[in-house]
Structures are given as structure tokens and as C-alpha cells.
Amino acid sequence: MMRFLFCFCLNFWVAFLSLAQSQPSEDVVAPYQKDKNLPSFTIRLLDSTTILSTKIIAKEKPTVFVLFSPDCDHCAQLARELKADSQQFDEVNLLMLSPPMPLFDIKMFAHINGLVNKKLIVVGQDVDFFFGSFFRAETVPFVVIYDAKQKWFSTLKNMRNLDELRLELDKLKMDKKP
């Protein structure tokens, strides 16, 4: 049932995006490409009651959003890599967000892949599928990076390993230097 729901949502967005491609080019541009500022958002954390919003994100650090699906093997591999190297990301806000799938499945994903008690990695549920539509994410894992000033920096579609993220964060550090 969960896979059916995910596939249904994904097919809906793929159909939506294919329709959008027949529109003028300005309509095809994803919202994050029009406005480079970190958007206002809310996500539900794994305890099912805590809501995290834009206002709570540390503003002095870059923010990395990893959009994932609990039944994605590539996402699980990435989560295990993040768990093993989480200390390398202590200077960023790292949020792993699932689309609106059963919270139980998201919790199991976090538990199986060792993310439950990682203080440097926040795992949550994008209840309104805001991130999927705002970033026009067609695949997972889908990674979006904002700098410390909360401006869009980079997007990694279909990221396969942590080295790709490290490279982008190194570029971000280089851009910061005088």
C-alpha cells in the first residue's frame, strides 16, 4: 500500500511536470530557481508531534535538505554513509525529509539506517509535499544546499554517494572565502 501511495504521488508529479513543460519557459522554472531565499516550511519530526519550521533552523550555518523515500535503496545507502560520517557535517543543518508517507515507515527507515539518535541529522516528514513541489524533485535522493545566508547554492539530483555532497560543500566554503 505504501509503495502504491508513493508511486501514485510520484506519477502525479511527473504528469504535472510534463504538462508544465508545454507551458512557456518561465512556468517550467522551479520556484527555488525564481526566488533564491530559503522558503518558509514546516516538517513533522519522528516523534509525530514536534513541528520544525524555517524559523528554528540555525541561520549561521549552511542548510542541506536530503529528500528521500523510505523504500529507496539509494536513499538507505546514503543514510548509512551520513550516519558513519555525520561528524563531518557538524557545520551544516542536515535535514532528511520524506514525502507524506506513513510515519511508521519513515521511523523504521531512520531506525534501520542508524539515524534515530544522530543529533546532527534531523529526519522528518514533509507532510504537505512542499519540498517535492517547490524543488520539482522527480527522483530521490534529491539534495538541495542553501548557504549560511539562507540563499540557494546548489542542487544534486539523484546523488549516489556522499562524495558528491562533500564536493558541493567544499565549493560553498571556497565561495565564502575573501
CATH number for position 107? 3.40.30.10
Q: What is the pLDDT of residue 28?
A: 76
> pLDDT, tens digit, for every residue of 142-152?
999 999 999 99
Using the structure block, give the residue that is written with the C-alpha cell 504538462.
19
Instruction: Judge whether 9 lies within some domain.
Output: no
Using the structure block, give the residue that is written with the C-alpha cell 512542499.
130
Q: 64 - beta bridge partners? A: 94, 145
Q: What is the pLDDT of residue 81?
A: 92
Instruction: Judge whether 17 lies within some domain.
Output: no
Residue 74: which pLDDT band, with cuts at 50, 70 and 90? very high
- Alpha-carbon distance of 175 to 178, in angstroms, equals 8
Exposed/middle/buried for residue 49 (C-beta within 10 Å: 0-12, 13-18, 19+): exposed
Instruction: Judge whether 1 lies within some domain.
Output: no
pTM comes to 0.81
Exposed/middle/buried for residue 42 (C-beta within 10 Å: 0-12, 13-18, 19+): middle
Exposed/middle/buried for residue 74 (C-beta within 10 Å: 0-12, 13-18, 19+): middle
Instruction: Judge whether 76 lies within some domain.
Output: yes
Question: What residues make up the domain containing 43?
Answer: 31-176
Instruction: Judge whether 21 lies within some domain.
Output: no
Using the structure block, give the residue that is written with the C-alpha cell 519513515.
106
Number of domains within the chain: 1
> pLDDT, tens digit, for every residue of 96-112?
999 999 999 999 999 99
